[in-house]
C-alpha cells in the first residue's frame, strides 16, 4: 500500500544490497530518488543495533539489523546524488568473511510514513556551556562517533533527559557556533558538534536540569523534524526575519546559509524583539555582521526598555512592520518565530500587508 502511494507520487520503493572485502562491508541503498543528500541519511550503531534511516519525502526507509560480526566505531557515508545511491562503508573488526549482514530488527527493510517512525535518540556528550546573556547559554553537544546525523537548516531536534524518573522531551533548534564564522556545514562533512542557544527558565521543567549538567554528561538528541525547506530560497532577493527572544535560533543558520549560498540575494533584514537590552542574544555579532555585509541590516525592538533606550520599542505592530517590510522585488520571503501570540499577531499583520501564505514561513511546534 505504501509502495502504491509512493508510486502515485512518482517514487518507487527503495532497496538495499551489501558486499564485502577483507576489511570492510558496504551497504548500498538504492533510493531511486534524485533529491537525496547527506541530510537525508541518518545512521546509528548503538550496542548491537545498526540502524540507517533514509528520509524520502514523507517516508522513511529503514535498514535495521543486529550485525553478524563486530565493526569499528566509525564508518563513512557517501551519497551519489544524481542517482540517489547511498553507500555506508563499515570497517570490520576482524578479517573474517561474513555469511550474512545480520539479523533483522524492528522495521528492517521497510518504508514507513515518517510520522509513524517515532523519535529515535542517541546519547550526546556535553562538550561546553558558555553564557551568552544573563539567562541564555550556548551549549555544545558531541554526536557519538558511531552516528551520522546532519540537522537541515531551519529544522529542530528534541532533547531528552530523565528527570526524577520521568523522561522529559523538549524541542530545540541547532545554531552555528557564531554568526561570524564562515558557513561550514556543506564543506565540513562529518560535523560532530551541535550547538544550541538555550534560555534557562528558573521555574521551568527542563532547562534548569539541562543547566545542571556537567561537562561530559549525556543528553539524548532525536532525529531532526520540521517543515522548513531551504530549497525555497533559490532565486530569492529579499529576506525579512522577524524574531522574538529565543525565536532568534532558527534565524541563525538561515542567515549564515542565505548570505553564503544564495547569489541572487540583495537584502536580508532582521527585526529582533526582546524585553530589554540585556536579553538581546549575540547583539554585537549581529552589529558586526551588518557592518561586514552590506546586504544585512538588523533592528532591535524592546518591549520593556529602560529610559536610556532611544531605539524602537513596543510589541509587533502595523507601524513597526510598515517601515520594516519594504519589498524591492516580488521574490521575497518573511520568516517569523517567537512566543505563540507574537507569531500569530505577526502572521495576521503580514497578511494585512499582502504577503501571501507562500511568502511566509512561521516556526512553530
- Candidates 206, 240, 282, 300; binder of ligand FAD (CB under 6 A) is 206
- Candidates 69, 199, 283, 331; binder of ligand FAD (CB under 6 A) is 199
The CA distance from 155 to 170, in Å, is 14
Residue 328: exposure state from Cβ atoms within 10 A (0-12, 13-18, ≥19): exposed
133 binding ligand NAD? (CB under 6 A) = no
348 binding ligand NAD? (CB under 6 A) = no
- Candidates 132, 158, 345, 359; binder of ligand NAD (CB under 6 A) is 345
Query: Site for ligand FAD (CB under 6 A): how many residues?
Result: 18
Q: Closer CB to ligand NAD, residue 104 or residue 314? A: 314
| Residue closest to ligand NAD (Cβ) | 245
Q: Which residues of 74-93 are buried (b: 16+ CB within 10 A; e: fewer)?
A: ebebebeeeebbbebebebe
Handedness of CA 355, 359, 360, 365 (dihedral sign): positive
- Candidates 121, 172, 257, 355; binder of ligand FAD (CB under 6 A) is 172
Widest CA span in the chain? 76
Handedness of CA 105, 53, 33, 115 (dihedral sign): positive
Q: Closer CB to ligand FAD, residue 252 or residue 321? A: 252
The CA distance from 289 to 21, in Å, is 50
Residues in contact with ligand FAD, shown as a per-residue x/- string from 131 to 170 under the rule CB under 6 A = -------------------------x-------------x
246 binding ligand FAD? (CB under 6 A) = yes
- Candidates 156, 160, 333, 361; binder of ligand NAD (CB under 6 A) is 156
- Candidates 59, 282, 355, 363; binder of ligand NAD (CB under 6 A) is 363
Residues 6+ apart with CB under 8 A from 116: none
Q: Closer CB to ligand NAD, residue 86 or residue 337? A: 337
Q: Which stretch binds ligand FAD (CB under 6 A): 187-195, 202-210, 211-219, 261-269?
A: 202-210
Binding site for ligand FAD (CB under 6 A): 156, 170-173, 196-199, 201, 203-207, 246, 249, 365
Q: Under the rule (CB under 6 A), what is the footprint of ligand NAD?
A: 156, 173, 199, 244-247, 249-250, 273-275, 279, 303, 315-316, 337-339, 341-342, 345, 363-365
Amino acid at each position: 500500500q505504501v509502495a502504491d502511494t509512493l508510486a502515485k507520487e512518482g517514487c518507487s520503493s527503495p532497496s538495499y544490497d551489501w558486499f564485502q572485502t577483507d576489511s570492510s562491508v558496504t551497504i548500498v541503498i538504492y533510493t531511486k530518488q534524485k533529491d537525496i543528500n547527506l541530510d537525508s541519511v541518518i545512521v546509528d550503531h548503538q550496542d548491537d543495533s545498526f540502524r540507517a534511516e533514509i528520509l524520502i519525502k514523507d517516508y522513511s526507509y529503514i535498514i535495521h539489523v543486529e550485525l553478524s560480526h563486530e565493526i569499528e566505531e566509525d564508518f563513512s557515508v557517501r551519497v551519489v546524488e544524481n542517482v540517489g545511491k547511498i553507500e555506508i562503508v563499515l570497517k570490520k573488526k576482524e578479517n573474517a568473511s561474513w555469511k550474512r549482514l545480520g539479523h533483522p530488527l524492528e522495521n528492517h527493510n521497510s518504508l514507513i510514513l515518517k510520522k509513524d517512525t517515532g523519535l529515535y535518540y542517541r546519547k550526546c556528550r556535553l562538550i561546553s556551556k558558555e553564557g551568552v546573556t544573563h539567562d541564555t547559554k550556548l551549549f555544545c553537544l558531541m554526536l557519538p562517533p558511531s552516528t551520522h546525523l546532519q540537522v537541515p537548516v531551519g529544522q529542530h531536534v528534541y532533547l531528552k533527559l530523565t528527570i526524577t524518573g520521568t523522561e522529559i522531551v523538549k524541542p530545540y533548534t541547532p545554531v552555528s557556533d557564531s554568526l561570524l564564522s564562515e558557513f561550514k556545514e556543506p564543506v565540513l562533512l562529518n560535523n560532530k558538534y551541535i550547538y544550541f542557544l538555550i534560555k534557562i527558565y528558573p521555574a521551568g521543567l527542563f532547562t534548569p536540569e539541562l543547566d545542571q549538567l556537567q561537562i561530559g554528561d549525556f543528553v539524548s538528541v532525536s532525529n531532526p523534524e520540521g517543515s522548513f525547506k531551504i530549497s525555497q530560497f533559490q532565486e530569492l532577493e529579499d529576506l525579512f526575519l522577524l524574531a522574538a527572544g529565543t525565536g532568534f535560533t532558527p534565524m541563525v543558520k538561515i542567515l549564515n546559509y542565505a548570505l553564503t549560498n544564495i547569489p541572487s540575494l540583495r537584502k536580508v533584514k532582521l527585526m529582533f524583539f526582546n524585553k530589554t537590552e540585556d536579553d538581546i542574544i549575540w547583539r554585537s555579532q549581529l552589529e558586526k555582521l551588518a557592518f561586514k555585509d552590506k546586504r544585512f541590516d538588523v533592528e532591535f525592538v524592546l518591549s520593556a526598555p529602560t529610559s536610556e533606550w532611544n531605539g524602537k520599542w513596543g510589541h509587533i505592530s502595523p507601524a513597526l512592520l510598515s517601515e520594516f517590510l519594504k519589498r524591492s522585488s516580488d521574490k521575497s520571503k518573511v520568516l517569523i518565530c517567537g512566543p505563540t501570540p507574537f507569531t500569530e499577531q505577526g502572521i495576521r499583520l503580514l497578511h494585512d500587508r499582502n504577503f501571501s501564505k507562500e511568502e511566509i514561513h512561521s516556526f512553530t511546534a
